């Protein structure tokens, strides 16, 4: 089954004077219907020249900024996060390492 990646914004840290979101805490959940993996992180956002009023921001808009910043800092970061979660799910499905004693 195909893996679905769900990106969420957990928290926005903003300056109260102008509503500028300076830091975002995000979470990615990857699942294939049977297995699930999660990763969390945070990213500092640069202050834009013109601000969108805080009350007018949408989840998809802020998430777009997060993904753009992640990839700007290191190209391919979004894809590598998703690939790492997919690899972990693959390891859960077909483990390559096991624990235990033979007796």
**48-81 pLDDT per residue, tens:** 999 999 999 999 999 999 999 999 878 789 999 9
Domain that holds residue 25: 4-90
Q: Which residue has the tokens 């900024």?
A: 65
User: Does residue 103 form part of some domain?
Assistant: no
The whole-model pTM stands at 0.85
User: Does residue 80 form part of some domain?
Assistant: yes
Tally of domains in the chain: 1
User: Does residue 96 form part of some domain?
Assistant: no
User: Does residue 101 form part of some domain?
Assistant: no
User: Does residue 41 form part of some domain?
Assistant: yes
Residue 10, classified by CB atoms within 10 Å of its CB into exposed (0-12), middle (13-18) or buried (19+), is exposed
User: Does residue 71 form part of some domain?
Assistant: yes
Neighbours of 75 (CB within 10 A): 10
């Amino acid at each position: 089954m195909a893996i679905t990646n769900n990106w969420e914004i957990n928290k926005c840290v903003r300056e109260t004077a102008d509503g500028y979101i300076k830091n975002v805490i995000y979470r990615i959940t990857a699942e294939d219907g049977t297995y699930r993996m999660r990763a969390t992180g945070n990213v500092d956002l640069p202050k834009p020249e013109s601000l969108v009023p805080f009350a007018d921001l949408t989840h998809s808009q802020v998430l777009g900024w997060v993904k753009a910043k992640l990839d700007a800092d290191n190209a391919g970061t979004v894809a590598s996060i998703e690939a790492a979660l997919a690899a972990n799910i693959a390891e859960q499905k077909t483990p390559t390492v096991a624990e235990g004693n033979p007796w």
